[in-house]
Amino acid sequence: MARPIRIANFAGAIGDRFSAFEEAVRGEPVDVVMGDAMAEITMSMIVAGFVDNADARRGFYWEPFLRQLRPQLATVAERKIKVVTNAGIYHPAGLAEAIRQDIADQGLDLSVAYVTGDDLTDTAKDLVAQGQLAHLETGAAPTVDPDDFLAANAYLGGWGIKTALDEGTDIVITGRVADASLVTGPAAWWHGWARDDLDRIAGATAAAHVIECGPQATGGNFAGFTSIADNTRPGFPIAEVADDGSFVITKRAADGGAVTVDTVTAQLMYEIQGPRYLNPDVTWHTDAIELTQQGPDRVLVTGAKGSAASETTKVGINFQRGYRGAMWLFPTGLDVDAKVDMLKAQAEQVRQDRPVDELHFFVCGRPAADPRDQWQATVATQVVVAAPTQRAVTAFLAQLGSYALSSIPGFYVDMNQGWSTNAQPRIDYWPGLIRQADLAHQVHLPDGRVLDIAPPPVMAPFTGQPSGASTVPPTSFEPTVTVPFGRIGYARAGDKGANANLGVWTPHEAAWPWLAAYLTADRLRELLGCADSVAIERYELPNLRGISFVLRDYFPPSGSAHLGLDQIGKSLGEFLRARHVEAPVELVHASDRMGTS
């Protein structure tokens, strides 16, 4: 049996720490380095640049990856490290060719392959006519003419990557693949897994879910960050995936951050849809895994279970939904509520002259009672508008700015940004479905061969998540004390399309019965102040002492097109942790003794 494969992450999204690639290849020995460049919200930001030049998509790849890779190519060759990334974005062939040129210029013996089949933009019209690309939740057909799609990309499985590595390739470039494919492909190659090794593939999928977002697994974006001594610059994680699908999450010893059961749990609770996580290669059962702190900065994850993959895979579709724009205003000092009311009234007056479809105000915080400086007396307020045309948005913001001398006392705008009257394309995201059997998944090898990648031999229709019924009946937990929820529980929030995903868990075994009984869907709605239009699904994961909530239509019409200030709900979990709840006194005292932040 082969030893576990060591896979190091060097990017969780475009714009992640540039030095991470060098750290990964020059640090402690690893077999593969992988980087994820295609977060859904990031893709929408990129697509916004194609509004006035649709052809630009065809030539776009993440050029900064070349600048990361180029000076490290000799080290990659010397240390025999495999590199796998989806930085090819919309043009994996172009990135592969650019890397080949760099390799030739340096006289190195490295080979490059690339994976295609995800880009469906040019065939979208035919697919829609065939009844495909229907919304993955509602089954509705796209509401926009496919000719107006700016991009449509299917989420491919990991077998194209595995095949490229089987053929001896050193660097594999992809476009849109499922996030987990960047780990499942290398793990399946290393261990020689078959397509029906579902528990093993599920384990690699779980490992990928932990490390795909880079330092989020080592203390970044972690509710318990104050418990990590060296939290300023957390390192990037490493997954050691064994042949049976179990794995250890760790990091380089010299790097900051920490790997603990809770930092790993945070990622396992992040952006899942419940106990069944759909992937093109497997359906991972998130309620089966177990975590053990194996040693300092080493967490062992075992017990992964998998079942047949779905017959369909997701397609991320981006299109324009008009324009958006925003302006920051800063009511200060006394009578803040009255000042905000006046700004709102003036904005509504402007709206009569300069109509817009949507107008929102976000008032951030309250002034201190006796402020020690001007900024403690200031309440940042954002005005956001959306309209079908760039002209309408720009005209609205310009006229609102013209009220400067006739508005609230102390009126000013952020001159570091200037008068923010420029409208930006508003990009919507539509999560559709396509049959895996209808994809042209291919790997293009260095010798010119093109190999077709068949879908999994056994697939099944997805029939929905298991019941979300509570495993713990309501009971009494007297006496109680009023405390912030974060004294007992941790949380991590993310987004999928128009839905918010909120994972909540407790690090204390004794607190799990209370958490499971207390935090019902109705209680969460009350604590978050969710609108009735938001449907809340609740799934318990006792193995993680956690609850996964899916808040459907929390970001209408989608995260990328939502006009909220926290556009995709990254701080939703921290808002929940700040809410005051009635918690058992003994649990609060126990949490304090154990140092829960």
- Which residues are 438's β-sheet partners? none
CB atoms within 10 A of CB 475: 9
Tell me what the pLDDT averaged over the chain comes to.
94
Q: Which of 192, 298, 284 is nearest to 239 (CA)?
A: 298
Which residue is associated with the tokens 């925003």? 326
pLDDT, tens digit (0-9, with 9 covering 90-100), for 314-361: 999 999 999 999 999 999 999 999 999 999 999 999 999 999 999 999
User: In which residue are the tokens 């990037």 written?
Assistant: 236
Coil, helix or strand at residue 567: coil
**Residue 1 banded pLDDT, cuts 50, 70, 90:** low
Q: How many CB atoms lie within 10 A of CB 445?
A: 18
Examine the pLDDT at 20 and tell me if it is beyond 60: yes
Q: What is the pTM of this model?
A: 0.95
CB of 438 closer than 8 Å to CB of 87: no
Going by pLDDT thresholds of 50, 70 and 90, the confidence category of residue 474 is low
Residue 76: predicted pLDDT: 98
The confidence band for 169, taking pLDDT boundaries of 50, 70 and 90, is very high
Predicted pLDDT at 467? 79
Q: Has domain 331-412 been given CATH number 3.40.50?
A: no
pLDDT tens digit sequence for 480-538? 999 999 999 999 999 988 999 999 999 999 999 999 999 999 999 999 999 999 999 99
CB 53 within 8 A of CB 150: no
Q: Give tens-digit pLDDT for 358-388.
A: 999 999 999 999 999 999 999 999 999 999 9
129 Cβ neighbours under 8 A, 6+ residues apart: none
pLDDT at position 468, please? Answer: 74
Identify the residue whose tokens are 């609770």: 269
Question: pLDDT tier at 11 (50, 70, 90 boundaries)?
Answer: very high
pLDDT surpassing 90 at residue 54: no
Where helices occur in 54-180 by DSSP H, the ranges are 63-69, 73-79, 92-106, 124-129, 159-166
pLDDT, tens digit, 9 for 90 and up, residues 286-304: 999 999 999 999 999 999 9
Question: How buried is residue 415: exposed, middle or buried, by Cβ count under 10 Å (0-12/13-18/19+)?
Answer: exposed
Strand 112-116, strand 290-295: pairing = unpaired
Residue 451, pLDDT > 80, answer yes
Which pLDDT belongs to residue 596? 54
Question: In angstroms, rounded to a whole number, what is the distance separating the alpha carbons of residues 213 and 102?
Answer: 28
Q: What is the pLDDT of residue 273?
A: 86
Given a cut of 60, whether residue 594 has pLDDT beyond it is: no
Paired tokens of 387: 């309209």
152-156, 243-247, 420-424, 491-495, range with the lowest pLDDT: 420-424
CA torsion through residues 333, 337, 342, 343, sign: positive
Task: Find out whether the peptide bond into 557 is cis, omega within 30 degrees of 0.
Answer: yes
Return the residue matching tokens 């926009």.
144
Q: How far is CA 353 from CA 342, 401, 450, in A?
A: 17, 14, 59
- How big is the chain, counted in residues? 597
Instruction: Provide the 10 A C-beta neighbour count for residue 363.
Output: 18
Residue 590 burial (10 A CB sphere; 0-12, 13-18, 19+): middle
Q: How many CA atoms does the CB half-sphere of 137 hold within 13 Å?
A: 14
Q: Give 67's contacts (C-beta < 8 A, 6+ positions apart).
A: 18
How far apart are the two ends of the chain, measured CA to CA in Å? 42
Can you give the C-alpha Rg of the chain in angstroms?
A: 25
Using alpha carbons, select from 596, 180, 274 the residue that is nearest to residue 466. Answer: 274
What values do phi and psi take at 41, rounded to 5?
A: -70, -35
3-class state of residue 483 by DSSP: strand
Instruction: For residue 109, give both structure tokens.
Output: 């013996």
Whether the per-residue pLDDT at 156 is higher than 80: the answer is yes
Does residue 390 sit in helix, strand or coil?
helix
Q: What is the pLDDT of residue 339?
A: 97
In this structure, which long-range contacts are made by residues 400-405, counting pairs with CB atoms below 8 Å and at least 24 apart in sequence?
400/327, 400/346, 400/347, 400/350, 401/327, 403/346, 403/350
Amino acid 443 reads: V
Sign of the dihedral defined by the CA atoms of residues 46, 52, 54, 59, in that order: negative
- Quick one: CA torsion of 455, 281, 187, 231, rounded to 10 degrees? 140
Comparing C-alpha atoms, which of 281, 75, 15 is closest to residue 159?
281
Closest-CA residue to 174 (of 281, 91, 100): 91
Of 221, 208, 284, the closest CA to residue 249 belongs to: 208
Strand partners, 535: 552
pLDDT in tens, 212-235: 999 999 999 999 999 999 999 999
d(CA 134, CA 132): 5
Reported as a pLDDT band with limits 50, 70 and 90, residue 191 is very high
Residues 387 and 396 sit within 8 Å (Cβ to Cβ): yes
| pLDDT tens for each residue of 399-444 | 999 999 999 999 998 877 665 567 999 999 999 999 999 999 999 9
209 pLDDT tier (thresholds 50, 70, 90)? very high
Examine the pLDDT at 109 and tell me if it is beyond 90.
yes
The arithmetic mean of pLDDT across residues 543-565, rounded, is 94
Quick check: 25 and 33 in contact, CB under 8 A?
yes
User: Of all residues in the chain, what percent carry a pLDDT higher than 70?
Assistant: 97
